[in-house]
Structure 1
């Protein structure tokens, strides 16, 4: 498997990109310290719209929400809501109490609807190994499952994938009086290291019958504080086999790519086993880029 960066460009006016989904001609991007869902032309990456998720004028005055108050949106997935509406589910990381919230944004009118994730996240947190803080960084769906990825920094034994029944989980999220949480199946996956530091999941998407993922490596053991960026990987996860196969991102001339990949989408299939990926990155200082990559399985 190889993963080659083809191009990279800044995303002006879009802070701390943390997830991307492509629906038709539109690329939707979230930032982990932004109260906005951004719309871009999927081909040119020109920004075409901004959807305010909630009122945060004072906290967003500097262009970035402060860590103590930001919802830390890290996961985004296209799905169909229980009432039949297609849209995007945006998910906070859950790493602090104020980050256990999300929004459903229906494609038909793009009017955000708040979603309380606290009950579901409490169930997931209860299954974590001792000493691990819930920190969900990516989400994807199959036809029947919701897949949530735990990023655990500084440990090699806690790169986790939570597999939940999609319909039951969405019904639980939309019924505040529901008392039976969905069943959760947990997988522990082995991810690569760079300079002794383990990779952590950062993005996911399901396309062409495959679960594509990204993972990045930081020199830190804190779920909230950032560390020195060492590199990123992309690849695929085989849920049935419980394995992850990843390739380190590099430029065409072989130089390692040091961008912090936070999300990925499949832009198109180039040939059998060849895919063009759209990646979004966060430099931990408010800057974001969009990169295209060629993944060969």
Structure 2
């Protein structure tokens, strides 16, 4: 497997990109320290709009402070109340202020209306349930989400030790997600994975998307002491996860010619299939200083 960068585009006025989903002609990008969901043209990457998720007085500098930001790190397409197509945005859960989510309703194909926030979600009980399944002393740090045909997948990024974990929740149980303080389904599957290392530091899940019955993931390596502090970024990987046998195959993200990419990929989406076993991905990055870029990369399976 190889993952080769074809281009990199700066995303000005879009701070700290943390996830991306492509639906129709639009790439939706979430930020971990901004109150907006950003819309890009999926083909050209030109900005086309933004949706305000919540009100805040702390965005004057262009970034919500670390102590109070909701840390929206993951996003997945789901059906909401009444079967409305939309996006589920989730905080990381690493702090009480980060145990929130939002459901954004998307317009029907061809409709002229804009996406809109339908509901703010309290994820505290659900996250307490997930946290209880982790080894003692492990900080919950949900960094990626995806939906298969039957499940919502929430991916844990370990920092400073601990397993790389994937939680699987039945999609049919998500009808209760929109009730006050939902505690989750009766059973949550937890799968653990071994991820690659760089300089002794293990990669952690950072993005996920389910396409053609395959779970594509991004993983980045950061020399950080915990789930809140930032650390030196050592590089990123793209991988394919096999849920049935709990195995994952990874390729280090590199430029054409083989030079390793040293940035932090925070999310990925499949932009198109080029040929059997060859896909073009759209990835978003965060430099921990408020800057974001979009990478177009080709994956050869």
Note the C-alpha offset of 1:179: 6.9
Aligned pairs for 1:216-227 within 5 A: 216-227=220-231
Q: 1:238 to 1:60 in 2, by over 3 A?
A: same
2:152 to 127, 146, 151: 146
CA offset digits 1:85-126 (Å, max 9, x no partner): 001010000000010101000003522121111111110011
- What's the TM-score once normalised by structure 1's chain length? 0.96
Note the C-alpha offset of 1:154: 2.6
Alpha-carbon distance in 2 for matches of 1:102, 1:175? 13
Alpha-carbon distance in 2 for matches of 1:124, 1:163? 10
2:295 to 284, 291, 297: 291
CA offset digits 1:38-63 (Å, max 9, x no partner): 0110001110101000111x200100
User: Which residue is 2:110 aligned to?
Assistant: none
Note the C-alpha offset of 1:82: 4.2
**Pairs aligned (count):** 294
- SS of equivalent residue, structure 2 residue 128: helix
Note the C-alpha offset of 1:171: 2.3
Alpha-carbon distance in 1 for matches of 2:66, 2:180? 28
User: Which residue is 1:161 aligned to?
Assistant: 166
- SS of equivalent residue, structure 1 residue 126: helix
Gaps in structure 2 of 5+ consecutive residues: 108-113
CA offset digits 1:185-215 (Å, max 9, x no partner): 1011010000111000000000111100000
CA contact (8 A) 1:164 1:182 kept: no
Alpha-carbon distance in 2 for matches of 1:209, 1:144? 11
Q: 1:254 to 1:35 in 2, by over 3 A?
A: same
Alpha-carbon distance in 2 for matches of 1:182, 1:62? 43
Note the C-alpha offset of 1:131: 1.4
Gaps in structure 1 of 5+ consecutive residues: none
CA contact (8 A) 1:76 1:139 kept: yes
Alpha-carbon distance in 2 for matches of 1:254, 1:180? 44
Aligned pairs for 1:268-283 within 5 A: 268-283=272-287
Alpha-carbon distance in 1 for matches of 2:41, 2:236? 25
Q: 1:177 to 1:17 in 2, by over 3 A?
A: closer
CA RMSD in angstroms comes to: 1.2
User: Which residue is 2:133 aligned to?
Assistant: 127
Alpha-carbon distance in 2 for matches of 1:254, 1:293? 13
- 1:48 pairs with 2:44: no
Aligned pairs for 1:251-262 within 5 A: 251-262=255-266
- What's the TM-score once normalised by structure 2's chain length? 0.95
Q: 1:179 to 1:87 in 2, by over 3 A?
A: closer
User: Which residue is 2:33 aligned to?
Assistant: 33
